[in-house]
Chains A and B, each alone.
Chain A
Amino acid sequence: MMPNGLAAIIKKEFTRFFTDRRMVLTTILMPGLLIYLVYSFIGSAMTNAFTVDEDYQPLIYVQNLPPSADALFFQLGIVLNPVDADEVATAKQFIQDKQADLLVIFPEDFDSLLAARTHYTSASAAVPPTDEPFNIDVFLNSTSSTSTNAYVLVNAVLDSYNTPTITINASGLTYDLASDEDTAGFLFASLLPMLMMVFLYSGCIGVAPESIAGEKERGTIATLLVTPLRRWQLALGKVLSLGVIALLAGASSFIGIMLSIPKMLGGALGDEGGAAFGGALYNVADYAQLLAVILSTVLLFIGIIAIISAFARSVREASTMTLPMMIVVMLVGALAMFSPGAQTELGYYLIPAYNSVQCFVGVLSFTTSPLSVWVTVAVNLLVTAACVFALTKMFNSEKVIFSR
């Protein structure tokens, strides 16, 4: 059972917040809505910029062009440009420079291989062909809309071979010839951890100074302190309830982003690519890890901001005093943009805030280990507990409560 005092503090904070329609509107609904609108706007602007002309004739290079494929594309009115092995490098360069759209590489003698596979009998050949599927490589540039369009088209055409004996882009090569910095998906994936940190932080900064420095400034906290309410209950009650509210604020921003991803990436990758990215790319475990990290990060932020707010003499002073923390959070988030994947060494996950960013990077790039997530959550909760302890001490100190 939760002690009466603790429950009363949490209930009071919730009542204060959730029965105040303006507060709910500005702190929870607005951030998500604004982000969604702004990002969707950017997304549709990008889509317009990338729409491909109906009559556009893609420039497609093909190595080892089999007559069967030539015929298929001819029916569609698409002219293919055969290249030799020594021209492949140049073709790739053209694609990267967006002067050409696609390079398709068939296995040598594709038609006869296919025929041999389909019509194999022990009589027709001495050696049975392998079961391995024939791979067709298709190189593209994801930042060029004509290239991605051509890619979708070629894929559809190759599908008409309708046989499990072929695969597309299964050789483990880098098929996207776009330079990394160009890639919208890459940009987004690297930006997301920082965005998350900033949104979580702004959720916290929207509620904690008001509730702690504000109560101190208005003299309402002293009214609580003359009751038998234990100071630790006040500290813990504040941190927990503010944590929940800040989490909702952060979640609102997060949902805003998630809903606008398909529109964002729809612009750059074609609608299917965007939807796939925003859709069921991550599984339940990924989301659970993300949620645990987010929750512990919010509590950590609230704990630290609460302490700064308790030192401050007014809400305004608290905002000024928390400014350096905002900068640190943004810098730590920005670090993620320049790291190719999550840190693998466990030691990095002992650093609060940095560990959260690394977990976000890890989960989003599928390179996370559950252990590092748990270490992160444990470290963040531990620091939060230390903050609650310090806050208890501060509520006990008349210098803090009555500083003028």
Chain B
Amino acid sequence: MANPQTIVQAKGLCKTFKLSAKQQRIENAPGRLRVAVDHLDLSANKGEIYGLLGPNGAGKTTVLRMLATLIKPDEGEAHIDGFSIGADPEKVRAAVGFLTSELKLEDFFTPDYLFGFFSTLHNVPPAIAAQRKDALFTRFGIDEFAQVKVGNLSTGMKQKASLVLSLVHNPDVIIFDEPTNGLDVITARVVTDYLLELRDQGKSIILSTHIFTLAEKLCDRMGIIINGRMVSEGTLEEVAAGRDLEEVFFDLYSAATKEVA
């Protein structure tokens, strides 16, 4: 690939959470502070799928939330499609489609209503919104339950609806936290196939996962994150260097935890 263009660029991102007394007790944490992301650099290329790989609690979701401007970094900066997440959050939000299981849809409304609602919030002209709705609803079989309230949908249906609703504005960058979490193999396949389709349309995708096979299958580039730090970043060949990705990960993991101990 000749001279790939960087579309998401993060430098020195840091995020520390203050734990509530209750949280401290539950997680048996030693201090009041929890460093979730620690001086993290990341760069993803245009038209590629980038995978953020790491164990539970590594800080994947926190990184993605910062990129999507839902939370602010304590330190560091990131640019998406040329816009700063700190200085231009509205522009970033307009350029990005963010999907995570913590973003819920209101039970009372139907997918059909919500598509119109989110299109308005994204300033999509009604005619274009209607076209997009037709195409996406058909593509994901949502037309069958377009008039059913979200509260009455199954997990898989909800996930499909959420996916479609995060794309009402046809964003160039798609940020996807754990895309296949909680989905059966068939629905998971629908989603991963669609991600590949989006990439082929020239979209850039950043996803997080702790499933190595998924990363191997989907990602053009990946970054391995442990304890909030980026410990390795590159193409599958660069990161794994011909070895099994899971093996490489365990080596990196024990090295990282030894360092701490």
Contact = CB atoms under 8 A, between A and B. Distances in A.
Interface of A: 4-5, 7-8, 12, 15-16, 20, 215, 218-220, 222-230, 398, 402, 404
A402 B117 contact: no
A227 B70 CA distance: 10
Given A5-B121, A8-B117, A227-B118, A16 B70 contact: no
Contact of B121 (A8, A215, A220): A8
B70 A223 contact: no
A15 B113 contact: yes
Contact of B20 (A222, A225, A228, A404): A404
B155 to A, nearest CB: 15
A160 B23 CA distance: 85
**Chain B: interface residue count, which band?**
20 to 34
A226 B69 contact: yes
Contacts of B109: 12, 15-16
B249 interface: no
B90 A226 contact: no
Nearest to A219: B104
> Which of A12, A227, A230 neighbours the largest number of chain B CB atoms within 10 Å of its CB?
A227
Interface string B77-119: 0000000000000110110101000111111110001000110
A8 to B, nearest CB: 4
Given A227-B93, A404-B23, A222 B108 contact: no
Contacts of B107: 218
B123 A12 contact: no
Contact of B98 (A15, A220, A226): A226
B93 A226 contact: yes
Contacts of B122: 227-228
A223 B69 contact: no
Contacts of A224: 121
Contacts of B90: 228, 230
A15 to B, nearest CB: 7
A4 B93 contact: no
Contacts of B123: 4, 228
Interface string B115-133: 0011011110000000000
Given A226-B93, A228-B122, A398 B104 contact: no
B258 to A, nearest CB: 32
A402 B68 CA distance: 15
B106 A220 contact: yes
A222 B120 contact: no
A5 B120 contact: yes
B46 interface: no
Contact of A226 (B70, B72, B91, B106): B70
B71 interface: yes
B103 A16 contact: no
A8 B106 contact: no
> Which of B69, B98, B113, B120 neighbours the largest number of chain A CB atoms within 10 Å of its CB?
B120
A151 B102 CA distance: 73
Given A4-B121, A219-B102, A398-B71, 16 more contacts: A8-B120, A12-B109, A15-B109, A16-B106, A16-B108, A218-B104, A218-B106, A219-B104, A220-B105, A222-B103, A226-B69, A226-B96, A227-B121, A228-B90, A229-B121, A398-B70
Nearest to A12: B117
B121 A228 contact: yes
Contacts of A16: 106, 108-109
B71 A226 contact: no
Nearest to A19: B108
> Which of B23, B91, B98, B106 neighbours the largest number of chain A CB atoms within 10 Å of its CB?
B106
